[in-house]
A and B are shown apart, each in its own frame.
Chain A
Amino acid sequence: MAGQSDPSLTIFSAPEVEFLGEDEMVEIVPNIRMESLNMICGDFGPFFPQMASKVPLWLAVALKKRGKCTIRTPDWMTVERLTQVLEAERESPREFQPLPFHYVDISRLLFDHARDDIPDAYMVRSLIEDIRDVRFHKVETGLEMISGRTYAVKLKNLSAMEVNIVRPFMVRTLQAFYKHDSPEMTQQEDFVGSRRPQVADRAPRRDLRPR
């Protein structure tokens, strides 16, 4: 990860995560005719007015800034879907609902740059904020359970931003536990103990890499 601001702590800053999130594909409706754009990451277009096409978010935002397109709100960013997700989040205290990995970043970018393209923008925004709060709360309560005997914490469907917030804490906690463990524990679980921080360190990263 060349773009990491602090490689030693394996931490991304929020803008860095957002940068990674910009590679997500979104649908745009261009209002101009344009030949296809040949980028390093692939060719996009050609674009025809009023015909939807898929481009990465960064390109969508760039076109939107120039007034060349409108961005279509992703499926999950509708009031109904988000209300469902929010309810489900509230109902199940342990599980996380599947949302796009970069949902926080995508919605943030869309709210910053394409607010006029989102129907019920205010409602959607407050729903996403609620969902985010509920999930962060869950993450926090989940982390409270970590003790010296914890081998693993199951955090399925966690999004990029959430992982990023949890990561330094997790790593350090596990390191601390490791340090303070009794010597015989250490000897017994030398194999496990020595690997544990690494696993915690790498797992989120592995998720990021393909994106």
Chain B
Amino acid sequence: MKGRSLKLREAHKGTSSPSLCSVVWGLDGCHVATASAADTAVSIHDAAGQPPASVTSLRHHKDGVTALAVSPNSGTLATGSIDHSVKVYSFPDGEFQSNVTRFTLPIRSLAFNRSGSLLAAAGDDDGIKLIATIDSSISKVLKGHKGSVTGLSFDPKNEFLASVDGFGTIIYWELSSGKSVHTLKAVAPSCDSDATLLNVLSWSPDGETLAVPGLRNDVVMYDRDTAEKLFTLKGEHERPVCCLCWSPNGKYMATSGLDKQILIWDVELRQDIERQKFDERICCLSWKSNGNAIAVIDVMGKFGIWEPVVPSCMKSPTEGAPSAQARHAKGLLLFDDVDEDPSTSGSLDDAIDESHGESAPISHKRLKKQSSFDDHSNEYTDGEKELAHQIESRKRSTSKLKETTGRGKEECAISRKLTKAKTQEAFQPGSTPPQYGKRRFLSYNMLGSITTIENEGYSHIEVDFHDTGRGPRVPSMTDYFGFTMASLSEMGSVFANPCKGEKNTSTLMYRPFSSWANNSEWSMRFEEEEVKAVSLGTGWVAAVTNLNFLRIFTEGGLQRHILSLNGPVVTAAGFKDELAIVTHASDCLPSGDQVLEVKVFNISEGTQSVECRLPLTPSSHLTWFGFSEEGQLSSYDSEGVLRVFCDHYGGSWLPVFSARKASKSEDESYWVVGLNASKLFCIVCKSPDSYPSVMPKPVLTLLSLSVPLASSDLGAADLENEFIMRNLHLSQIQKKLSRMATADLDTIALDDEAFNMEASIDRCILRLIASCCNGDKLVRATELAKLLSLEKSVRGAIKLVTVLKLPILAERFSNILEERLLNELKRPAVVTGLSSNGTSTKNAPLMKASMTSEATEVMQPESTFQPSTLPKPCLTKQDKTESKKVGMAEPHNDPKEETAMATSTNRCHQQMDPFAKISKTQEVEEKDKREQHMELCKNASEGTAKEGVNQVNTRSAGEGNSNEAANQRQSHRPVNPFIKSANNQGKSSLLDSIKKMKKADHEKDEKLNNKKARV
């Protein structure tokens, strides 16, 4: 540290007691305005002149002046005073222009935005006034601070206004909407008691960071967008920092502390490079916009200009900062390449000097015109000699700085990563960020929502179910913990709060909605551990902590398992027995891609069913994670891609929705709530908001899932999409089926569903074949025909292509059909050889499905002709079946009956078959033959499999079994794939069929009696 001392001269006499003074540079760098809270006058000093400089005094205020601000574009000076008024003067000549506004309490802070169009004024009043300078109208009043606002700073990009109050609360305001974006509580020192001390804050000239005096005698940098703490400048200050200002290029920073010293920092190296001690506390600093000088003023009203501030061996504080004019023109600050890449600054000095010479001359010429103070422009104009000298001096400084740069490089690398690509924070699916004074969602899912609002230190939590008719009514709860995480299920809700400071430990709380025992809610406290994510399912509650512990509790609060996870948690979701947890697999890639990993645990079985990577769109992050209504794992990222996990290819994620393709207008975004097999449930948010607010109640919008298909030459994107989606759905059903079959559960409903799905896939394929034929894509049509699952549909396809006059295809399709029939002929033989119950075969569910879906219908054709034709025909029929059963050794040698049945099935096909019109008699005949054939083989398989065992019983006991056998026989009819949904039909006629069944039973009894009598 150099032993220079700075001589201060008196600007404001005032009283002998310390009072708040302020100082500000004019843009041209020739004038300095000073004011004191103890003096009614504002002084404008000519800085260029020598000590007996001309001083203009402005005595319009009736009380002390507390705030000064100079408009960046025109020469106006705004002053705010304890007398509640804000006045505007021309600058530097000090002509009084107008009273801009009046407050009801003293003004504490003023700020112009970068273009000078807005003036923000605030003080002890409870609102920050934004005043349009052009007509002095108040454009907005921002309310939200509890104490007096002491510091204001406009973001240079004119997007935000940051403000700080006496309690140290910082609020980021969005200028366009006037809403607070972030609120940081108690981050700056509280200075409400001391009138001579004001909290301040300042945006870096590039607008990327906000500098705020911290609680530990340091300066804390906050991120522009996320308001997260980036880093701190900590050094030689022994007491809190009371004032700070950035150098024009943002490379340096000057801070003054309560310890009566000013430090100059190199922000990139996070090191103090210069220090100056004073007799009194410096309460205001202002960096000259075009020079290496700082104007300072102390609490006694003495001011001075410190020049040069930054040692000449280092880069100029103005280098890279655009000149005042350039700033007006662009309104934005753009850095030279040199300054953007700090890691190279130490080692590649010469290159930098070159590039500097190339890239910056224009701005430097401008600077030269404006000011003679700028040492850099001097150096530039003075020619090569000076330049060489400069390079030499740089080299010297390089050697000095070598070790620090080494360390600095690392830090810079880290800091860049921090600012650009951050590993994403933990979040709860369905939660919205906190907004000051507004209710927000802690959890929103398909069941209901948990909302909270902070109110005087306490929060009020409400749990609402969407279905007010069914869900339990949950009384609202006062929350003394400050819960920020919650999760909701039918059974209960779980809450957790992070640890805030030392006194507040992280707590997990579970509230069941109904319980047979009193007082069944419980809570857990975590010492030196912080809950990051919570989730719950049937009978379990899970919490993931910052120690990467997964803690699983039972519903009653028993600590069941504690597992260690691989990385920091991102989010967790629960569905019935399954718990899915997303963790970071590693630090995020330099490109900004998150590396995430997902694990699915089955809590009741204690197994881990899935472990895989969680894919995301490049440089996006996860925004929603959960299970679909059917229990499929799904994720949604910030780029609007919804993915579903499925078993294809050994477990993979399928993109099933893309917001880009779906959204009609640019400013719409989708906030996902849930999904089912075909629809996405989301809340549509209009542009500025990316999440819904609690009031008015958001309404769910249904969007169809659509796979991001390439635009094909077929021009049938809808069909292709339907085809893929349905196949996906079918595979899900089949997976569930096999799981249930192994668990020996009732699978009838699922069989039905699977069958319906197959039928609808076939329908879709047929339409695709049609469009392929129209588009002359015959190979594709053949491939599609091979995918048809029911041979009924293959026949339909044959008909279709014959109508479309494509005999080649018809031939090929017939070949496919024949092949299929042959295969099915072979397979049953194998099946019967291998297993007796037939569940292990692949098409067992199919056959079963055909059986069950028919089961309800079966009785109809029979019973419809029964009443009209009376016992006799029935009897003969019964006889026939009976006889057939007797003659089981040579099954189905009754061709007459077979054809009769086949024709009857044909009749009903003709009713429902869309291709019925084009069916020709000869084909029908052919089909009949084939059907017969098919039935033969099916019967053979089923008959041998099922009846073979109890054949003897059937023959002897006959009574109940004959009925069953009849059903079975009829159920073997091939089922029409064009039936809309066998299920529905079944439902609608359920009552009927039950009635008819009873009747039939009754009649059968009669018949049997008759028969017996005959016998």
Give residues in A with beta carbon < 8 Å to B: 29, 31-33, 48-52, 67-68, 70, 72, 119
When distances are taken between beta carbons in the complex, the residues of chain A under 8 Å from B699 are 29, 50-52, 72
Inter-chain contact A32/B700, CB cutoff 8 Å: no
Across the interface, name the chain A residue whose C-beta is closest to B471: A49
In the complex, besides A50-B697, A51-B700, 15 extra interface pairs with C-beta distance below 8 angstroms are: A29-B697, A31-B469, A32-B467, A33-B467, A48-B700, A49-B466, A49-B467, A49-B468, A50-B466, A50-B698, A50-B699, A50-B700, A51-B681, A52-B701, A119-B696
Q: Which residue of B lies closest to A49 (CB)?
A: B466
Q: Are A51's CB and B702's CB within 8 A?
A: yes
A sample of 18 cross-chain residue pairs with beta-carbon separation below 8 angstroms, ordered by A number, consists of: A31-B467, A31-B468, A32-B470, A33-B467, A33-B470, A48-B700, A49-B465, A49-B467, A50-B466, A50-B697, A50-B699, A50-B700, A51-B681, A51-B699, A51-B700, A52-B699, A52-B700, A68-B469
Chain A hits for B465, CB < 8 A: 49
Residue of B nearest to A29 (CB): B699
A32 touches B468 (CB 8 A): yes
Min C-beta distance of A55 to chain B, whole Å:
15
Q: When chains A and B are docked, how far (Å) is the Cα of A72 from the Cα of B696?
A: 11
- Chain A's closest residue to B449 (CB) is A50
Cα of A144 to Cα of B829 in the assembled complex, Å: 94
In Å, the complex CA distance between A31 and B698 comes to 12
Q: How far is the CA of A70 from the CA of B698 in the complex (A)?
A: 12
What residues of chain A lie closer than 8 Å to B702, measured between beta carbons? 51
Contact with A along B652-688 (1 / 0, CB 8 A): 0000000000000000000000000000010000000
A32–B469 touching, CB < 8 Å? yes
Taking CB atoms, residues of chain A closer than 8 Å to B700 are: 48, 50-52
User: Taking CB as reference atom, which chain B residue is nearest A32?
Assistant: B469
Tell me the bound Cα distance from A59 to B294 in angstroms. Answer: 74
User: In whole angstroms, how far apart are the Cα atoms of A18 and B699 in the complex?
Assistant: 29
- Shortest beta-carbon distance, B447 to chain A, in Å? 9
The digit string for B441-476, where 1 denotes a CB below 8 A from any CB of A, is 000000000000000000000000111111000000
Contact with A along B693-736 (1 / 0, CB 8 A): 00011111110000000000000000000000000000000000
A64 CB to closest chain B CB, in angstroms? 13
How many angstroms between the C-alpha atoms of A52 and B696 in the bound complex? 14
Complex contacts, B470 vs chain A, CB 8 Å: 32-33
B contact face: mostly helix, strand, loop, or mixed: loop
Contacts of B466 in A (CB 8 A): 31, 49-50
Residues on B with C-beta less than 8 A from A119 are 696
Question: What CA separation (Å) do A48 and B679 show in the bound complex?
Answer: 13
Contacts of A32 in B (CB 8 A): 467-470
Please give, as numbers and ranges, the residues of chain B lying within 8 Å of A49 by CB-CB distance: 465-468
B469 CB contacts on chain A under 8 angstroms = 31-33, 68
CB neighbours (8 Å) of A51 from chain B are 681, 699-700, 702
CB distance from B684 to the nearest CB of A (A): 11
Chain A residues positioned under 8 Å from B701 (CB to CB): 52
Report the nearest B residue to A34, measured CB to CB.
B469
A33, A49, A68, most chain B CB atoms within 10 A: A49
In the complex, the 10 A-B pairs of residues with the closest C-beta atoms, listed nearest first: A49-B466, A32-B469, A49-B467, A31-B468, A50-B466, A51-B700, A50-B700, A33-B467, A29-B699, A52-B699
A33–B448 CA distance with the chains assembled, in angstroms:
13
Which A residues are CB-close (under 8 A) to B697? 29, 50, 70
A48 to B447 Cα, complex, angstroms = 11
Could you say which residues of chain B place their CB within 8 Å of the CB of A31? 466-469
Quick one: which of A33, A50, A68 has the most chain B CB within 10 A? A50
Specify which chain B residues have a CB less than 8 angstroms from the CB of A48 in the assembled complex: 700
Cα–Cα, bound, A33→B465 (Å): 11
Bound together, the chains give a CA A29 to CA B700 distance in angstroms of 9
User: What's the least CB distance linking A186 to chain B, in Å?
Assistant: 60
Nearest-Cβ distance from residue A17 to partner chain B, whole angstroms: 31
What is the chain B residue whose CB lies nearest that of A72?
B699
Residues from chain A with a CB closer than 8 A to the CB of B467 are 31-33, 49
Shortest distance between the CB of B998 and any CB in chain A (Å): 27
Shortest Cβ gap from A27 to chain B (Å) = 9
Q: Which of B463-505 contact A (CB under 8 A)?
A: 465-470
What is the bound-complex CA distance between A31 and B696, given in angstroms? 14
> How far does the Cβ of B432 sit from chain A's closest Cβ, in whole Å?
16
Q: How far is the CB of B752 from chain A (nearest CB, A)?
A: 20
Q: Which residue of B lies closest to A33 (CB)?
A: B467
In chain B between 778 and 806, which residues have their CB closer than 8 angstroms to a CB of chain A?
none
Least CB distance from B754 to A in Å reads: 23
CB distance from B82 to the nearest CB of A (A): 41
| Nearest A residue to B469, CB-CB | A32
Inter-chain CA distance A33–B700, complex, in Å, is 14
Q: How far is the CA of A119 from the CA of B697 in the complex (A)?
A: 12
Docked CA distance A32–B698 (Å): 15
| Residue on A nearest B702 in the bound complex, by CB | A51
Question: Which B731-756 residues have C-beta < 8 A from chain A?
Answer: none
A33 to B470, CA, bound (A): 8
Smallest CB separation, B697 vs chain A (Å): 7
Cβ-closest chain A residue relative to B444: A50
Q: Mark B761-790, 1 if CB is under 8 A from A, else 0.
A: 000000000000000000000000000000
Interchain CA distance A49-B468 in the complex, whole Å: 8
Nearest neighbor of A52 in chain B, beta-carbon distance: B699
Contacts of B270-291 to chain A: CB distance below 8 A: none
**Residue in B closest to A67 when the chains form the complex, CB atoms:** B468
Q: Point out the residues of chain B lying under 8 angstroms from A33, CB to CB.
A: 467, 469-470
Give Cα A51–Cα B466 distance, bound, in whole angstroms. Answer: 10
Chain A residue at smallest Cβ distance from B466: A49
**Which residues of the partner chain A approach B681 to less than 8 Å between Cβ atoms?**
51
A68–B698 alpha-carbon span in the complex (Å): 16
Residues of A contacting B698 with CB < 8 Å? 50
Distance of A107 Cα from B298 Cα, bound (Å) = 67
A74 to chain B, nearest CB (A): 15
A32 to B469, CA, bound (A): 5
Give the CA-CA distance A33 to B466 in the complex, in Å: 9
Report A66 CB to chain B, min CB distance, Å: 10
